[in-house]
Amino acid sequence: MVKAISKLNDELADATESQLKIIGKPFRRVDGRAKVTGQTQFADDVQFPRTAYVKLVRSTVPHARIKNIDFSAALAMEGVLGTLIGEELPDKFGILPVSEDEHALAVDTVRFVGDALAAVAAVSEDIAHAAALAVEVEYEPLLTISSVEEALCTPEPQIHEYADDGNIHKKVSLKFGDVEAGMEQADIILEDNFFYEGSNHLALEQHSAIAFAEDDDRVTLYSSTQCPHYVHRALTKTLDIPASRIRVIACSNGGAFGGKSDPFNHEIVVAKLALKLGRPAKITLTREEVFYCHRGRHPVQMHLKTGFRKDGTMTAQHLRTTLDGGAYGSYGVASTYYTGALQTTTYKLPNYWFEGARAFTNKPPCGPKRGHGTPQPRFGFEVQLDKAAHRLGIDPAELRLRNLLEPNTITANWLQIGTIGLKECIEAVVRGSGWKERYGKLPEGRGLGLACSAYMTGAGLPIYWNHMPQSGVQIKLDRSGNVAVFCGETEIGQGSDSILAVVVAEVLGIDLKDIRLCVGDTDLTPVDLGSYSSRVTLMVGHAAKQAAERARDKIAEAVAEHMEVPKDSLVFANRTVFPADEPENAIEFSEAVVIAESRFGTLGTTGSYIPPRAPGRYRGAGVGPSPTYSYSASVLEVEVDPETGLYEVIKVWMAHDIGRALNPVLALGQIEGSIYMGLGEAVMEEQAFRRLPKRLSGALVHKMPSMLEYKSPGFHDMPEMTCYMIETDDEQGPYGAKEAGQGPLLPIMPALANAIFDAVGVRVDQVPIHPDFILKGLQAKKNGRDPRVGPTSFPDVDYGEPLIVHTPAQGGDGRAANDPKASKKGLRSASGTMKKREDALKEHSSATLTTD
Amino acid sequence: MLRLPPIKLVAPTTVQAAAKAIATSDDNARLVAGGTDLWPNMKRRHQKADTVVSLMSIPDLDSIDSANANMRIGATATLANIIRDDKLRARFPAFAVAVASISSPPLRNMGTIGGNLCVDTRCTYYNQTEEWRRSIDYCLKEDGKICWVATKSPKCWAHTASDSAPILCALDAKVRLVSASARRELPLADMYVDDGIDYLAKQPDEILTEVLVPGSSDSDHCRSAFWKLRRRGSIDFSTLSVAAAVWTDDNDVVTRASMYLGAVGSAPMPVAEIDTVLVGNKMSEDGIAEIAHVAHKIARPMDNTDFAASWRGKMTVQYVTAVLREIAGLPQLRMRPRHRLKVV
């Protein structure tokens, strides 16, 4: 999609005085004007003549074999153009090569209420809807599994046959160091059960897709997606057309938050129907259907056991998790690893044992939501640290400071850490909130809570095994002075277009309005893997910088020759090029391009980025590595009404180690947005289900698939916020930058639970924290019982024999000391065991490897 | 997106014509004013109509006469215009607070007082799309046989959802109903029936044209208050509301009292005991506690809306206490409900 760059706020510093010209200064986002004036074309805005409108027929039963689908009433309706069933799209797809378990339309079996099993196309949306309602489906019910506990004790019927064990999709057990010895060294051991409810992303824009076919078996799809490249791969797999004839264009997204990072059945269906009907085909989901696409936060149960010395330092941790995965794999294998992988990134944790299991259940599939798998264990960890601080008589902020990880170290689970601004973050929120003067001293009903977190700046490995760049940028320059920048990145509202443009503008010394972007188009732009895992600023930033620097070099070479000055003396600034000591001899940037084009012919450069290789070599080491990690600390102030349990978050202080803010306004928006979303999960959001009494009904339905009844905060519900950006200039980030879009969400939930404890002395070990939980705790306190509310047990899960990995401190080499799963089929994962790219290239092996 | 099924929409310009239209059209005809409830319900297919008769083209049906001793509000007066009326706010402040708590500003710009008084009862098993309701084999209120809130219940437990009804009942409001053949006036409280399906005593061919609030209930004669429990500071329907009015003599001795609970029954639930407990006495903490105790027993919160039902029951005690303390001028609990009267 080609986008015009809007005018920049012209506060450019004098180039000769400041090293950085635009970066680090607040500038208006390049897509801002188009968005606020309605010019931006979202997927649902894309229209073509003769469009067929598509509705999916979705299952009304949670688990069943499809006996028959009768389209006769639907086909009899005037205006119905055609239908589609699963057998017409026989090939399975799925975001992870290890769990390609989805059919675009169910074949034989439906697995949750809302699972799509057929499609109808008509000349209008009204007729398509009426026709979809008229399709009659006959089912043969299968046993329904509604929870992890049911999945554990119901190995048959399997929701998917490829699961690790019965209906347990994935099991992980990773043991780093000597956990038993660590526990023995502890003065106190805390053991807690926690629960974190699932939630939906609730992006304001519902998913939409429109496809059209051209006469030579080409198909083009416009979609609201975060990952056009992965959609392209899924279409290639399912449509039986070569990849080169499929074009995916990611439209601007009206929010995504992870909810648009899977390839979806509706995208494949409209592409197929466009080919089948020979006319454009379009679908826009209802809000209810978005809840069925889901891929939201996994509900996670946790059992967390940590050993502490009297001084507050930690000796060992053993974390067990279960994930309620829903009916399909999605990113679930990665999500499972993520419920353990980042526990080691904030504090010194010498010995660590992580066990995780994801269950298949007959509910919409869970997947990645902002923070992907880490908010749940982070909640447990940070609440437990608060409990430890109270047990040991150490201030919670001080306890964390004592445990801080050293920068530039390798963790027990072999993650390479770079800079850490967590100390500065803690100090900022402690100072801002008056923590030292106020914590533990506020009147009954008022409280402060503190929590910290860390997050990745881009996943170290791609979703599928390959040695190609994870981000690519192409630049075209010509005599007009206009610079066209091509990149597969996808704007989801986070400001990635602005980052791409500003890096190029910075290097070439031009204005943002001199740049035209072409992004998220698989035919026209180099591959970028997508807007997920907080990877775009870092990876696109590096690729753009490299491409722009190559362009600058080329121009400088020609201009230097022309001016008869040394190439290195040339400065690119203020849309001009000049020798550093002769600014009066500046030429226009466009003139410089003319000189270069005259000298070299047509100008174009590329840049690309591959993250550094992580030190872990064990199976599972692929989840967690990142070029660098961001850090956050937050203090939350809460007021609790002891009569009702109702509470209000009064204020949030948030400090975030962002490396360097390339645009402080955009970064602040990401931090505030994270606080908002975190509060939603902490206070009210829940993807909850109803199971009707079994003697009367087999129903298992989403409790409230509407924006009215699925509660998410509004403007009225937002507290005052004070945010601090801590700049650590990480050498792995472009201009020192780290992520800002996900990390600051993580401390909110535990900070709220900790603040409620400070306010009324009640521990709530689960989120969201409903007022009746607090009231229950207060009544327990009044009756002399433990004022704690939360899960009292953890399911009995056989995680299997752990993979033993010696830590760096033990002299390990990053490899596992044993290989309990080596003989098992189908468990080879894409992570950690891959060869170096250079070695693979030497062997002339296929650059694109699958894991099957 | 969810789409309206095809309908025949008629928009008469007189009440008589509207009454005639509803009386003469087929069985499946409905009235609409602002449409903020009916249209989404029809999109989800749990309310159905072949013909919809709109009242919005009838001139002056939206008038508000707040200067008259007995206040008169036309049925199609929007909720936003009711809050904007200075005299109304001064004379019936708790009513204004209740109206201001309804939904959100855009919906108050369309929603009307007549529509809010007649708003359909709600339930999380019922306010769902056709496809969703198919997956539970529907429910007693529409197309099904079982009330999933109480599976052995012969009656539907959908809850009253009007925020203006409890306070207007407490203030002794009356409504005027007009049909093609007759017109009548009845106390608003008598318009409601504690049944989730047949929740209105108003006949389908009767049009609610006017709300009358007696001057004897205004702030010169009576003190009133309204509290609403909901999750968020805007948008949400109430999960519990409490409205009360207390009339006193010159010595602060209560001469009459009235209280209604919203969202914890299929109709606004009267707490009749308030009159016997308070009349003849000054308001006291003991009296308030007694009424709160009684109200707790009257409230029937079910698992058909937001929040845990048992907790909503406990909150009845708290909210009744709070409303009566506000009326008595006693110091309030710290946390007030999250709705404020804002005039936009």
Tens digits of residue pLDDT in A430-485? 999 999 999 999 999 999 999 999 999 999 999 999 999 999 999 999 999 999 99
Instruction: Give the contacts of B30 (CB within 8 A, at least 6 positions apart).
Output: B38, B47, B49, B51, B52, B53
Which of A754, A789, A824 is a domain's end point? A789
* pLDDT at residue A4 is higher than 80: no
pTM here is 0.95
pLDDT at A829 over 50: no
* 3-class SS of residue A666: helix
pLDDT of residue A715: 86
The band of A821, judged by pLDDT with boundaries at 50, 70 and 90, is: low
How much is the pLDDT for B233?
87
Query: A272 pLDDT band (50/70/90 cuts)?
Result: very high
Looking at the domain assignment, is residue A71 inside a domain?
Answer: yes
**CATH class of residue range B1-59:** alpha beta
pLDDT in tens, A191-249: 999 999 999 999 999 999 999 999 778 999 999 999 999 999 999 999 999 999 999 99
Q: Name the region of A741 (left: φ>0; alpha: ψ -120 to 50; beta: rest).
A: alpha
Look at residue A596 and tell me if it is in a domain.
yes
Question: From the centroid of its chain, how far is CA A233?
Answer: 19
In a domain, A166, yes or no: no
Same domain flag for A570 and A666: no
ipTM for this model: 0.96
Q: Could you tell me if A214 and A331 lie in one domain?
A: no
Q: B9, B21 in Cβ contact below 8 A?
A: no
- pLDDT, tens digit, 9 for 90 and up, residues A765-785: 999 999 999 999 999 999 999
**A778 assigned to some structural domain:** yes
CATH of domain B62-121+160-344: 3.30.465.10
Say what the pLDDT of residue B27 is: 77
How many structural domains is chain A composed of? 3
| Minimum CA–CA partner of B125 in chain A | A703
Distances (CA, A) of B75 to B61, B82, B84, B177: 6, 11, 16, 10
Which residues of A fall within a CB distance of 8 Å from B124? 703-704, 709
pLDDT of A602 strictly over 70: yes
Q: A244 — phi, psi (to 5°)?
A: -70, -15
Residue A691: its pLDDT value, please?
Answer: 96
**Domain check: are A450 and A582 in the same one?**
no
Spatial neighbors of B99 by CB under 8 A, at least 6 apart, are B79, B82, B83, B108, B113, B116, B163, B164
Q: Do B333 and A641 touch (CB under 8 A)?
A: yes
Domain extent, residue A524, equals 2-40+468-609
**Can you tell me the mean pLDDT for A547-557?**
98
Q: Same domain for A287 and A331?
A: no
Q: What is the pLDDT of residues A340-389, one digit of tens each?
A: 999 999 999 999 999 999 999 999 999 999 999 999 999 999 999 999 99
Judge if A523 and A651 occupy the same domain.
Answer: no
| Same domain membership, residue A123 and residue A229 | yes
Sign of the alpha-carbon dihedral angle for B121, B123, B128, B132 = negative
The answer, for B130 touching chain A at a CB cutoff of 8 Å, is yes
Residue B340: per-residue pLDDT: 56
- CB contact set of B313 (below 8 Å; sequence gap of 6+): B264, B296, B299, B301
B234 to A696: CB separation less than 8 angstroms, yes or no: no
pLDDT tens, residue by residue, A145-186: 999 999 999 999 999 999 999 999 999 999 999 999 999 999
State which residue of chain A sits closest to B148, comparing Cα positions: A692
Which of helix, strand or coil describes residue A199? strand
Does A542 share its domain with A661?
no
Q: Which residues of A touch B235 (CB under 8 A)?
A: 708, 714
Is the minimum CB–CB distance between B136 and chain A shorter than 8 Å? yes
Closest residue by Cα to residue B102 from B53, B161, B15 = B161
**Chain A / chain B CB contacts < 8 angstroms:** 100
Question: How far is the alpha carbon of B201 from chain A, nearest alpha carbon, in Å?
Answer: 28
**A542 has pLDDT over 70:** yes
Q: Name the residue among A58, A126, A696 with its Cβ closest to that of B3.
A: A126
Contact A648 B315 (CB under 8 A): no
Asked whether the beta carbons of residue A639 and residue B335 sit closer than 8 angstroms, the reply is: yes
Residue A63: pLDDT over 50: yes
Looking at residue A120, its pLDDT comes to 98
Q: Give the one of A130, A644, A708 whose C-beta lies nearest to B235's C-beta.
A: A708
Q: Is the pLDDT of residue A5 over 90?
A: no
Residue ranges per domain, chain B?
Answer: 1-59, 62-121+160-344, 123-157
Q: How confident is the model at residue A830 (pLDDT cuts 50, 70, 90)?
A: very low
Same domain? A413 vs A302: yes
A311 shares its domain with A451: yes
Could you say which residues of chain B have pLDDT below 70? 333-344
Question: Are A632 and A750 members of one domain?
Answer: yes
Residue of A nearest to B2 (CA): A286
Query: The CATH number of the domain where A366 resides is what?
Result: 3.30.365.10
Last residue of a domain, one of A293, A317, A345: A293
B334: which chain A residues are within 8 Å (Cβ-Cβ)?
Answer: 445, 639, 641
Among B1, B124, B232, select the one facing A714 at the smallest CB separation: B232
Q: What is the mean pLDDT of residues A315-343?
A: 98
Average pLDDT of the segment spanning A395-412: 98
Would A350 be classed as within a structural domain? yes
pLDDT in tens, A672-704: 999 999 999 999 999 999 999 999 999 999 999
Q: Are residues A427 and A481 in the same domain?
A: no
Tokens (6 digits) for A565: 């000055």
Contact residues, chain A, for B1 at CB < 8 Å: 125, 206, 284, 286
Q: How far is A463 from chain B (nearest CA, A)?
A: 32
Average per-residue pLDDT for chain A: 94
Tokens of A87: 């057998």
Whether A409 and A486 share a structural domain: no
Which residues make Cβ contacts (< 8 Å) with residue A742, sequence separation at least 6?
A370, A371, A372, A455, A534, A674
Look at residues A577, A609, A641 and tell me which one is the last residue of a structural domain. A609
Give a yes or no: residue A384 inside a domain.
yes
pLDDT at residue A838, rounded to an integer? 60
User: What local confidence, expressed as pLDDT, does residue A14 receive?
Assistant: 40
Helices A589-600 and A536-563, interaxial angle, to 10°?
Answer: 80
